[in-house]
């Protein structure tokens, strides 16, 4: 029987967590940001996100590949003493964006493929989907990021809500290689993050119950075919599924079994009809 993941993330309060000064700063950061509507009710989670980002920035790998992130991480921790909530948020988001773009390169062949399918390069989907996923991810969940970039979104999902597996699907080998290094330095077990260096269209969604995507392609031509394909694959999936779609292009292709359960203009969420009644019909 699957017992669900053992806790493997370095919790802020665990003995392996941050040094007392950093722990204090991170907790303060969480409570300061919770004054802003986007982070209300997510005080602990946003501190956990900051802790993961700071560890990446302060690691040998982070310092070698993105030296500007180390002072940024220090400024973020220091900002709780004097900065406004907005100033703290600006530093957090800057650190997140810089780490998100690490490894953003494509071989000539990958770039040709991306262009031919009207694909977008690696842009950050933001922190709000990570925070909102709290209500949906269970220890036994399998999640997937369709077009994962360097996998930071899926990595943060595993950090905050350890679960059975996250599948990171991405066309760029360099982004995947970078994501694997981030995974190793955060100590996320290999079986929890599966990297698929392939096209989203070729991925089976039969084992997943949580799908995340941030507009991997423009919804025209081959890009439109991609969204149709994802929707078909979801129809064939045997489990109840929740879909988190940033800058949503997928929703109009999902069948009647799905209903929209949330939208704020940035993130739209859908669930299979088992959740109908809880949400707004599509
Ligand atoms: C807009 S970015 C989203 C990155 C990340 N998921 C996030 O939300 O922060 C889209 C990513 O999808 C990848 N991508 C686009 N089309 C793809 C395809 N058909 N198969 C695999 N990856 C794809 C791109 O290389 C890029 O990294």
Mutate to test the pocket of ligand 1, among 105, 147, 214 (most ligand atoms within 8 A of CB): 147
Q: What is the mean pLDDT of residues 196-223?
A: 96
Q: State the average pLDDT for the chain.
A: 92
Question: How open is the CA angle 57-60-64, to the nearest 5 degrees?
Answer: 80
Return the residue whose CA atom lies nearest to atom 2 of ligand 1. Answer: 122
Instruction: Sketch the domain layout of the chain as residue ranges.
Output: 20-100, 108-275
Ligand 1 within 6 A of 69 CB?
A: no
Task: Please tell me the distance from the alpha carbon of residue 73 to that of residue 37, in angstroms, as a whole number.
Answer: 23
What ligand 1 atom has the least distance to the C-alpha of 117? Answer: 19
Question: Of ligand 1's atoms, which has the minimum distance to the CA of residue 152?
Answer: 9
Question: Among 149, 154, 166, which is best to mutate for testing ligand 1, by the most ligand atoms less than 8 A from CB?
Answer: 149
Q: How far apart are CA 177 and CA 34, in angstroms?
A: 34
What is the pLDDT, as a whole number, of residue 10? 58
- Nearest partner of 123 among 175, 167, 61, judged by Cα: 175
Q: Give the span between the Cα atoms of 206 and 244, in whole angstroms.
A: 17
Q: What is the pLDDT of residues 220-266, one digit of tens each?
A: 999 999 999 999 999 988 889 999 999 999 999 998 899 999 999 99
**pLDDT tens-digit series, residues 163-197:** 999 999 999 999 999 999 999 999 999 999 999 99
Q: Which residues pair with 119 in a beta bridge?
A: 217
211 three-state secondary structure: strand
d(CA 210, CA 143): 5
| Of the candidates 129, 124, 116, 180, the residue with the CA atom closest to the CA atom of residue 147 | 124
Determine the pLDDT at residue 71: 97
Task: Determine the residue of 110, 145, 216, 244 to mutate for testing ligand 1's pocket, defined as the one with the most ligand atoms within 8 A of the Cβ atom.
Answer: 216
8-state DSSP, 37: G
Q: Does residue 101 line the site of ligand 1, with CB under 6 A?
A: no
Q: What is the pTM for the complete model shown?
A: 0.93
- The stretches of 149-195 forming alpha helices (DSSP H) are 152-160, 173-186
Question: Which atom of ligand 1 sits closest to the CA of residue 226?
Answer: 19
Residue (of 232, 233, 263) closest to 245 by Cα position: 263
Average pLDDT, stretch 123-138?
A: 97
Give the position, in ligand 1's atom list, of the atom nearest the Cα of 148.
6
Q: Is 244 in the pocket of ligand 1 (CB under 6 A)?
A: no
pLDDT at 27: 92
pLDDT of residue 202: 95
Tell me the helix, strand and coil percentages in the chain, rounded to 5. Answer: 50, 15, 35
* CATH number of 108-275, picked from 3.90.1150.10, 3.40.190.170, 3.40.50.150, 3.40.250.10: 3.40.50.150
Name the band, by pLDDT with cuts 50, 70 and 90, for residue 273. Answer: low
Ligand 1, atom 5, residue with closest C-alpha = 148
Q: What is the pLDDT of residues 88-109, one digit of tens each?
A: 999 999 999 999 999 999 999 9
Q: How far is the C-alpha of 25 from the C-alpha of 261, rounded, in Å?
A: 35
Closest C-alpha among 118, 113, 122 to residue 222 = 118
Start-to-end CA span in the chain (Å): 36
């Amino acid at each position: 029987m699957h017992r669900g993941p053992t806790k493997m993330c370095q919790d802020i309060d665990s003995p392996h967590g941050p040094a007392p000064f950093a722990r204090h700063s991170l907790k303060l950061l969480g409570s300061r940001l919770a004054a802003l509507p986007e982070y209300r009710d997510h005080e602990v989670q946003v501190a956990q996100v900051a802790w993961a980002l700071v560890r990446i920035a302060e690691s040998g790998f982070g310092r070698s590949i993105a030296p500007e992130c180390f002072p940024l991480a220090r400024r973020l921790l220091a900002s709780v003493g004097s900065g406004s909530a907005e100033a703290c948020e600006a530093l957090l988001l800057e650190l997140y964006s810089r780490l998100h773009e690490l490894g953003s390169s494509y071989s000539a062949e990958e770039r040709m493929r991306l262009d031919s399918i009207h694909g977008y390069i690696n842009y950050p989907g933001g922190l709000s989907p990570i925070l909102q996923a709290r209500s949906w991810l269970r220890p036994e969940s399998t999640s997937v990021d369709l077009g994962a970039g360097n996998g930071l979104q899926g990595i943060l999902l595993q950090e905050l809500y350890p679960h059975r597996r996250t599948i990171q699907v991405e066309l760029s080998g360099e982004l995947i290689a970078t994501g694997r290094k981030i995974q190793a330095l955060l100590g996320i077990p290999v079986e929890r993050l599966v990297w698929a260096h392939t096209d989203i269209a070729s991925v089976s969604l039969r084992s997943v119950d949580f799908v995340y995507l941030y507009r991997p392609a423009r919804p025209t031509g081959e890009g439109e075919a991609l969204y149709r394909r994802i929707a078909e694959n979801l129809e064939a999936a045997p489990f109840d599924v929740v879909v988190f779609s940033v800058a949503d292009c997928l929703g109009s292709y999902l069948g009647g079994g799905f209903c929209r359960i949330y939208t704020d203009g940035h993130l739209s969420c859908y669930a299979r009809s088992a959740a109908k009644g809880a949400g707004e019909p599509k």
